[in-house]
């Protein structure tokens, strides 16, 4: 039994914010952002929320997979920006789409979240507990940015990506995952005030803080090793991979990973130019764009890889 992705969907907010738009509200430029990151514009949520974008992405994935709400056994949302602590985004999706039979919960593995959700769904499907799962990465990162920190806020965007997975004879061949909690504070968001009356000096709310150079070093050293481990586990040669769908953090990270793997850059599709970095949503949104643009053909072999906050990372080898 393998876990097969049988449909994808995504949803981005309406509002496009270009680098030039940002340069009107902070001391930055299109030249600085484009040359260091590859990002040209991103979508930022005004009316939309993590839940509303997730619900729309889910509906599109269900339509793409031709799966009804009643067929969904499991809903997992990977997010660091759920609208509420409770109810979870996954429970909000369940209610909105009418997936009454589903078990629904959220997970937090930051930019690796979609890969972790996929591996959890795979474990349930392999056990035979469930047959069909809806998995998402969804973020409203604009809510938790420090908009006075130009080195960080220009990198991120908002959106949601979804996939329907089902037990099948082909699909997920192998995966590799890891976490390095000891190095976690290089990318942090301590965004909660303690409301305990026994605590005398509650800390102020803090937004996303990143040591960009440390994150860069982590990504370019960890991701190639993780991808190679997943390929070894799958028994697949790197030359046989058609596409590498990586977390869309930064074009320089993707170029460095391609170089270390000795794989041509044109095997690394890009969405960061128009989406920015959407943490857990990056990989499923990219996958949906590839799917809808006709890039993915049955039998193709694809690598998915996520990396980021935690620190965490995950790679998967998939037969489409």
Alpha carbon separation from 224 to 212, 262, 284, 305 (Å, rounded)? 19, 10, 20, 9
Out of 39, 187, 245, 318, name the contact with ligand ACO by CB under 6 A.
187
111 carries an active-site annotation: yes
Question: Is the separation of the CB atoms in 219 and 315 below 8 Å?
Answer: no
Residue closer to ligand ACO by CB (options 171, 308) is 308
**At its nearest, how many Å lie between ligand ACO and the CB of residue 157?**
11
Question: Is the separation of the CB atoms in 159 and 50 below 8 Å?
Answer: no
Answer left, alpha or beta for residue 169, where phi above 0 means left and psi between -120 and 50 means alpha.
alpha
β-partners of residue 187 are 210
Segment near ligand ACO (CB under 6 A); pick from 9-17, 63-71, 210-218, 267-275: 210-218
247 carries an active-site annotation: yes
Out of 117, 215, 256, 263, name the contact with ligand ACO by CB under 6 A.
215
Alpha carbon separation from 150 to 185, 198, 215 (Å, rounded)? 19, 36, 16
Q: Does residue 38 belong to the site contacting ligand ACO (CB under 6 A)?
A: no
Q: How many residues bind ligand ACO (CB under 6 A)?
A: 23
277 carries an active-site annotation: yes
Q: Does residue 164 belong to the site contacting ligand ACO (CB under 6 A)?
A: no
Helix (H) or strand (E) holding 152: helix 150-153
Q: Does residue 28 belong to the site contacting ligand ACO (CB under 6 A)?
A: yes
Alpha carbon separation from 52 to 11, 82, 85, 127, 139 (Å, rounded)? 9, 11, 16, 31, 11
Catalytic residues: 111, 247, 277
Binding-site ranges for ligand ACO (CB under 6 A):
28, 32-33, 36-37, 111, 150-151, 154-155, 187, 210, 212-213, 215-216, 219, 249-250, 252, 277, 307-308
């Amino acid at each position: 039994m393998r876990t097969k992705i049988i449909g994808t969907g995504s949803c981005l907010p309406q509002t496009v914010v270009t680098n030039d738009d940002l340069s009107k509200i902070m001391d930055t430029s299109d030249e600085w952002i484009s040359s260091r990151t590859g990002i040209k514009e991103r979508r930022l949520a005004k009316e939309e929320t993590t839940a509303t974008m997730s619900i729309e992405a889910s509906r599109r994935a269900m339509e793409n997979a031709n799966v009804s709400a009643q067929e969904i056994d499991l809903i997992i949302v990977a997010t660091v920006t759920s609208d509420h602590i409770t109810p979870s985004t996954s429970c909000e999706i369940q209610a909105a789409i009418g997936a009454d039979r589903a078990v629904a919960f959220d997970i937090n593995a930051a930019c690796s979240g979609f890969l972790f959700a996929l591996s959890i769904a795979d474990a349930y499907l392999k056990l035979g507990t469930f047959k069909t799962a809806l998995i998402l990465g969804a973020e409203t990162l604009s809510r938790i940015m420090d908009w006075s920190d130009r080195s960080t806020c220009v990198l991120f965007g908002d959106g949601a990506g979804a996939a329907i997975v089902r037990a099948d004879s082909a699909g997920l061949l192998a995966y590799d995952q890891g976490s390095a909690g000891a190095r976690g504070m290089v990318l942090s968001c301590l965004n909660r005030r303690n409301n305990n009356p026994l605590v005398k000096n509650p800390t102020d709310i803090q937004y996303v803080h990143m040591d960009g150079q440390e994150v860069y070093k982590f990504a370019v050293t960890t991701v190639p090793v993780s991808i190679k481990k997943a390929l070894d586990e799958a028994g697949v040669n790197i030359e046989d991979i058609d596409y590498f769908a990586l977390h869309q953090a930064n074009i320089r990270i993707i170029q460095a990973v391609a170089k270390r793997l000795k794989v041509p850059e044109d095997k690394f599709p890009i969405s960061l130019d128009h989406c920015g970095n959407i943490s857990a949503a990056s990989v499923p949104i990219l996958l949906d764009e590839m799917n809808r643009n006709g890039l993915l053909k049955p039998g193709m072999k694809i690598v998915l890889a996520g990396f980021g906050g935690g620190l965490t990372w995950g790679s998967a080898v998939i037969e489409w």
